[in-house]
Amino acid sequence: MVYLDEFGHIGPFVSKNDPKFKESPVFGLAGYIIPLEEVRSFGTWFYQQKCRLLKFEIDRAEQHPAVWEKKGASLYTVTNVTKYQQLRATTNRILNKIQKVGGKTFYVGVRKTHTPETASSNALYHAILREAIKRLNDFCEYDAPDNSRFLMALDEHDQHDQLLTTASMQMYGGETPMRHLIEPPFQIQSHRYQTMQTADWLAGLVGRLGAIWAEPDQYPENEVFRTYFEARVNAASVRSGVRTK
């Protein structure tokens, strides 16, 4: 089972200080691969970690923690990572747990180079999705145990129909169909799924790393993410990368 969420920003990027196009220099999908039989227990484990780490915020929200979520982009800030040792420890526990149950982290993305006039958010998302499916299919073909297959869950997206079309065409068509993908990706509401919230947290972390990988001069403050997490993320990852050139 594969859970993926977006990292970075889908829109064009000019510079960190541009008045309009300043959100992130990268865009991609990140998350993790986990054996199907481990999904239920892992979701429970993550739920417990989330409740422990963010108890103050959950209590203040007056909402059941099963449907309360903290977005990864808000959780993984320079201030939070620098200040809270508990966040750093929980992140490493998540990475360790994924590997312990036979899973891997996974991410694929790109440094955005199109100008605002030529950028196409839809084309970018579709290209990243196709690349993710290809890499995951290759993982099943060459790296995983024999006869490995995968299902893919994505966070909700407003281009749902077009994304399904792209995935279906790649799954069944062309000279090299993606034979290890069982069904086209399905989309779920992240606040209802602890497993997707995990992917969102990982995407938030990879988004911070991707920014400094792509534009180190503009994001020197993100060095803290490299210090604490880069080696651990890469050690847990398979067929992953952010193209920065």
Is the CATH code 2.40.50 the one for domain 2-243? no
pLDDT at 130: 93
Q: Report the alpha-carbon distance of residue 42 to residue 129 in Å, rounded.
A: 25
Q: Report the alpha-carbon distance of residue 216 to residue 239 in Å, rounded.
A: 23
What are 138's two structure tokens?
Answer: 């290759």
Q: Are 217 and 77 in contact (CB under 8 A)?
A: no
Domain ranges of the chain: 2-243
Query: What Å distances lie between residue 60 and 55, 56, 81, 84, 198, CA to CA?
Result: 8, 6, 21, 19, 21
Each residue's pLDDT expressed in tens, for the chain with a length of 245 residues: 999 999 999 999 999 999 999 999 999 999 999 999 999 999 999 999 999 999 999 999 988 999 999 999 999 999 999 999 999 999 999 999 999 999 999 999 999 999 999 999 989 999 999 999 999 999 999 999 888 999 999 988 777 677 778 888 888 876 788 999 999 998 999 989 999 999 999 999 999 999 999 999 999 999 999 999 999 999 999 999 999 98
pLDDT at 160: 65
pLDDT at 198: 98
- CA 62, 203, 155, 31: dihedral to nearest 10 degrees? -120
Neighbours of 215 (CB within 10 A): 19
pLDDT at 118: 94
Model-level pTM?
A: 0.96
